[in-house]
Structures are given as structure tokens and as C-alpha cells.
């Protein structure tokens, strides 16, 4: 997890867990298809936590092509509030393209990109 030396202050996330392409969000797959196809891309999912003992506050989904050093990813989170209590409401960012060579680098770059873009979202 990230920030292990920062005591209980998050965010923290799991190591990238490999998943099949079929387990990635359709919007990530559509984005990859529209930009050259899925060949060479591998899927990864990471759970994000605000505190070590909390339930996940969100998920990073990443498709990484190591040979091309490029990746596409999104952040997903379940909404909270009265409507979300009745129905499961999932919010997600638009897909983001970025350069990365490893799953961990992809996670770090995607997270920082989302933080940097937060005022724009």
C-alpha cells in the first residue's frame, strides 16, 4: 500500500491485482478499442482506502501495455447518501491515457493525474 510510513493517514491502496480484460469497465475497453485495439493490454485493479481499517473508498482500473509504455485507467467509487442507500450508484471518471511501464507506476501516475485534475472534474 502507498504511504505506509505516514501512519494512519491515507490514501492507501492495494498492489495492482491482475484481472482479465473482461473484468475491466466497458468504458476502459471501449477507449482502448477506439485507440488501436486491445492487443498487448493487461488489466489491473487496485482498491483504495482512506484509512487502513476502512472499507474501500474506490477502485482504480487500469489497462497497461508494457511494450508500448502506455496505459488507460479510471477511478470508480460508490456514491453515498439517501439515493445510494436505495440503489447502488457507481460514479467514475472518464478514461485517462498516460505513460507507464509497470502496473505500480501506472497506479501512481493515474492517481496523481486524478489528484492534479480534481478541480477540473
**pLDDT (tens digit, 9 = 90+) per residue, 5-35?**
445 677 888 999 999 999 999 999 999 999 9
Residues 34, 113: Cα–Cα separation, whole Å = 21
pLDDT for position 3:
41
Q: Mean pLDDT score of the chain, rounded to an integer?
A: 86
pLDDT for position 96:
96
Residues 25, 87: Cα–Cα separation, whole Å = 19
Residues 20, 6: Cα–Cα separation, whole Å = 33
How does residue 1 score in pLDDT terms, banded at 50, 70 and 90? very low
- pLDDT of residue 117 exceeding 70, the answer is yes
pLDDT for position 110:
95
Sign, CA torsion 68/69/70/75: positive
Amino acid at each position: 500500500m502507498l504511504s505506509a510510513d505516514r501512519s494512519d493517514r491515507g490514501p492507501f491502496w492495494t498492489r495492482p491485482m491482475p484481472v482479465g480484460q473482461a473484468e475491466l469497465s466497458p468504458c476502459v475497453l471501449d477507449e482502448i478499442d477506439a485507440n488501436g485495439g486491445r492487443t498487448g493490454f493487461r488489466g489491473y485493479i487496485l482498491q483504495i482506502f482512506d484509512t487502513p481499517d476502512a472499507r474501500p473508498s474506490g477502485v482504480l482500473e487500469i489497462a497497461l501495455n508494457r511494450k508500448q509504455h502506455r496505459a488507460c485507467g479510471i477511478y470508480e467509487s460508490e456514491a453515498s447518501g439517501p439515493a445510494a442507500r436505495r440503489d447502488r450508484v457507481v460514479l467514475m471518471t472518464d478514461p485517462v491515457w498516460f505513460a507507464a511501464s509497470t502496473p505500480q507506476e501506472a497506479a501512481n501516475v493515474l492517481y496523481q493525474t486524478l489528484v492534479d485534475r480534481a478541480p477540473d472534474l
